[in-house]
Structure 1
């Protein structure tokens, strides 16, 4: 027995009935987990995890950012990113230098090894997503991409607003 979807006006009527809007999280989660599995498979031979992927690839195209700005852009947890950056530095993929403008922060640069692995990872993930998205034509893909960007930005803004309002309440 599969899941039965309800429209917005329907109530929950039994264990297997789920409003269709709630399934987006399921699909996003499935895609994310599958992408992570693919990345982990590739990255384990370099002693890294999939969390390193966005950091390496973003720095590949935007070297010289400070760590705080990078975490903000990628919506990453700063403490986890700090631990990952230390690993990347120890493994010889990045160099962290004190930010001249903000001594509490670090400027991040890729080493030659970091550039090589970032290029490889980018190539691998582009191939993977090309295979995943293969059933979609260019128009559908453009619409999906635009809508995903819109919804993602909305989610980020809603969470930031909630966090900011809690700071004001204290």
Structure 2
């Protein structure tokens, strides 16, 4: 029986992984002056869009583990970028709110992400970018479905 191997040029996953690693390296270097790490800037972005989210909301939105979110939230609170407030009805839930300090860096953080998006898409036509987004969304759905299948077996 002949074994078949995927070469590096054939592996979509390898290319996605490489882009992901370079992307996070680039962004992490850009947000270093604000002492933001790994997932912290993602949480700030979500709160810039919708203040008052709880940690469970962030787990769902960012597709990160509860532990990663908890660690990042603790760090953001320690840095003075966000604060927690207990829910008035369910005291187990804490909503997250931005501080003046996080609002002061909002434009810089958004600019970093916009610049990153520009870098990623330079020398690529608008049509190809639209196709790429559509294909990557489908890939994300495919792997999510496959992941759910693993969980249920």
What is the RMSD of the two structures over their aligned residues, measured on CA atoms? 2.2
Q: Which residue, 114, 138, 150 being the options, matches 1:150?
A: 138
CA distance in 2, matches of 1:153, 1:102: 33
Matched, 1:128 2:116: yes
Q: Which moved more, 1:41-50 or 1:56-65?
A: 41-50
Q: Is the 8 A contact 1:12 1:18 kept in 2?
A: no
Q: TM-score w.r.t. structure 1 length?
A: 0.79
Q: Which residue does 1:141 correspond to in 2?
A: 129
| Deviation for aligned residue 1:101 | 4.5
| Deviation for aligned residue 1:11 | 5.0
CA distance in 1, matches of 2:82, 2:27: 19
Q: Which residue does 2:147 correspond to in 1?
A: 159
What is the CA deviation profile of residues 47-88 of structure 1, one whole-angstrom value per residue up to 9, with x for unaligned ones? 221321211111111111111011111101111110110110
Q: Which residue does 2:7 correspond to in 1?
A: 18
**Which 4+ stretches in 1 moved above 4 angstroms?**
none
Inter-CA distance 115–155: structure 2 relative to 1 (3 Å threshold)? farther
| Deviation for aligned residue 1:130 | 0.7
Q: TM-score w.r.t. structure 2 length?
A: 0.86
What is the CA deviation profile of residues 102-152 of structure 1, one whole-angstrom value per residue up to 9, with x for unaligned ones? 433321111122123343122112112212211211111111111111221
What is the CA deviation profile of residues 137-169 of structure 1, one whole-angstrom value per residue up to 9, with x for unaligned ones? 111111111111122123223323432x25xxx
1:12-161 matches, cutoff 5 A:
12=4, 18=7, 23-161=11-149
Secondary structure in structure 1 of the residue aligned to 2:105: helix
Inter-CA distance 48–162: structure 2 relative to 1 (3 Å threshold)? same
Q: Is the 8 A contact 1:67 1:106 kept in 2?
A: yes
Count matched residues: 152
